[in-house]
Structure formats: C-alpha cells, structure tokens
C-alpha cells in the first residue's frame, strides 16, 4: 500500500500527506504565495535565554569584588549591601548565603584558571617562574637566598645575645611600677609619665592594656552581628579561598 497523497489546491500536484513534504512543496513551487508560519519556539527560547545570560554576567561581575583579598566576603551579606544591589537592579537578588557567594568566586577561579592554561598552551616557548638553581651554581636567586639566610642568621644571633639584657631591663621597669603602685601611686599616671623616657614603648603597651574597660559590652556591641563585621579580626580566610581570590583578582 503506497503512501497517502493529497492534491495541492494551487497547482493540483499530488504531494505526500506529510507536513514536511507539504511545506517543502509550498516553499519551492509557490514562493510568491504566503509562506507557512515559522516555529516560534526558537524565538521564545532566545528571549528566555536573555535573562539567564544577564544573570550570568551579573554573577561574573560580582565575582570580581568578591576576589578582593582585603574585603571579607561576609560584607556582601550585610543588609546595607543588599539594599545597594536592590537599588541598582531590583530584579536581581543578592544571595543570602556565604556558601553561594563562595561558589561564585570558585566558579570564576576555575574559568580564569582554564583561560590561563589555554593561553599558556598556545605559547611557543614555555616560561618558568622559578630559577633552576640545581644546574646553575652561580644563579642570582641562589646567591640572594644564601645572603638573605646569612643576614637573617646574624640578626637572629644578635637578638639572642641582646635578649637577656632586654628582659632584665623590662623586669626592672616593671618592678619600679609595682613598687610605686604599692604605695598608692596611680599606675595610669605612672605609665603616662614614662612616655618621655627610654621606657616609652613599654609605657604605650601598658596604657593600651590598662585602658581596656572592665566590661566587655563595647566588644559585644561591635560583634553583635556575627560574621557581618568587616574588622580585620573577623577576616579569617582559609588558604585555598585566599588563593582563589588572588588568582581572580590579578586577572580581572
């Protein structure tokens, strides 16, 4: 049994009763007539892909400031930072999770690393960032390292020789302060008077310690929003994450 046929209303030619065959016949034989409507699926997909691409561009751009080594990632979780991003683009919501922001940075790190490898693979001559000191005995780097090691060793030996005398001097200074305090002299005033003496550095340290309030309330207020403070004391970045930050930051 043959394939089903149908007759074209324009030219009366028999055409296989398949959508593809009918469209092909219409396009070839009747170009001057109204052509069949194109599929709108591709157009719809292209429109839908635009916001996705825009989101990726924002995500890639966000990875750049996330890579700044001196700026804690937690600062992007602060409500004021979220308010800033909302003002810039209300359709984009800044992630609320540290792990998500970290993933953005690590993804950018992988892309940057792949790009660097691709660029290096196209180079005719491979360059090394290290010096081969095993085969070159008079290497400049080798000489510098030897000289630096000798200088550090001499400085360390000198500090060790001076350490007993310094410790004895510090002990004598503290004994003077303790003796004066035992007869009613205010320690803060005593250390303040020593700022113009040879014990200036010890006096500064003592005043900083003695000036700390007895209550920890001010400290608690500073760190009341755990993880959101941008103080250097809260910036405890792991080595791997810091390495990723530096790679992305240096290639932005």
User: What does the alpha-carbon distance between residue 235 and residue 238 come to, in Å, rounded to a whole number?
Assistant: 9
- Same domain membership, residue 110 and residue 65: yes
Record the pTM: 0.36
- 92 shares its domain with 113: yes
Q: Looking at the predicted structure, is the pLDDT value of residue 44 above 50? A: no
Q: In terms of domains, do 31 and 55 share one?
A: no
Q: Residue 156 has what DSSP assignment?
A: H
Say what the pLDDT of residue 132 is. Answer: 46
Tell me, yes or no, whether 29 and 60 share the same domain. Answer: no
Considering the domain architecture, whether residues 6 and 118 belong to the same structural domain is answered as no
pLDDT digits (tens, 9 = 90+) for 203-247: 887 777 666 555 545 544 444 444 443 344 344 566 677 777 777
Structure tokens at 243: 């390495």
SS3 7: strand
Q: Are residues 60 and 94 in the same domain?
A: yes
> Does 240 fall in a domain?
yes
DSSP letters for 129-173: SS--TTT-TT-HHHHHHHHHHHHHHHHHHHHHHHHHHHHHHHHHH
**Same domain flag for 54 and 32:** no
pLDDT band for position 47 (cuts 50, 70, 90): very low
Q: Note the pLDDT of residue 209.
A: 67
Q: Do residue 85 and residue 30 come from a single domain? A: no
In a domain, 201, yes or no: no
Q: Which domain holds residue 21?
A: 1-37
Both 68 and 118 in one domain: the answer is: yes
Specify whether 6 is located in the same domain as 114. Answer: no
Whether residue 99 is contained in a domain is answered as yes
Domain count, the chain: 2
Asked if residue 115 and residue 1 are part of one domain, the reply reads no
**Does residue 95 share a domain with residue 63?**
yes
Q: Three-state SS for 133?
A: coil
């Amino acid at each position: 049994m043959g394939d089903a046929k149908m007759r074209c209303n324009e030219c009366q030619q028999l055409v296989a009763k398949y959508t593809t065959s009918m469209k092909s016949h219409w396009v070839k034989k009747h170009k001057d007539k109204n052509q069949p409507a194109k599929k709108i699926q591709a157009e719809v997909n292209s429109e839908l892909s635009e916001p996705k691409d825009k989101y990726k561009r924002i995500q890639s751009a966000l990875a750049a400031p996330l890579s700044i080594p001196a700026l804690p990632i937690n600062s992007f979780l602060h409500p004021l930072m979220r308010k800033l991003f909302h003002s810039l683009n209300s359709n984009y919501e800044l992630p609320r999770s540290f792990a998500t922001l970290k993933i953005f940075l690590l993804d950018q790190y992988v892309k940057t690393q792949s790009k660097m490898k691709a660029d290096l693979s196209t180079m005719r001559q491979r360059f090394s960032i290290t010096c081969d000191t095993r085969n070159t005995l008079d290497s400049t780097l080798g000489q510098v390292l030897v000289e630096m090691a000798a200088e550090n060793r001499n400085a360390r030996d000198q500090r060790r020789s001076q350490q007993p005398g310094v410790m004895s001097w510090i002990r004598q200074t503290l004994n003077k302060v303790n003796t004066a305090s035992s007869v009613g002299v205010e320690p803060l005033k005593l250390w303040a008077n020593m700022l113009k003496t040879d014990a200036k550095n010890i006096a500064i340290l003592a005043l900083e310690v003695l000036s700390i309030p007895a209550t920890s309330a001010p400290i608690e207020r500073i760190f009341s929003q755990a993880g959101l403070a941008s103080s250097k004391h809260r910036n405890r970045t792991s080595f791997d994450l810091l390495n990723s930050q530096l790679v992305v930051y240096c290639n932005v």
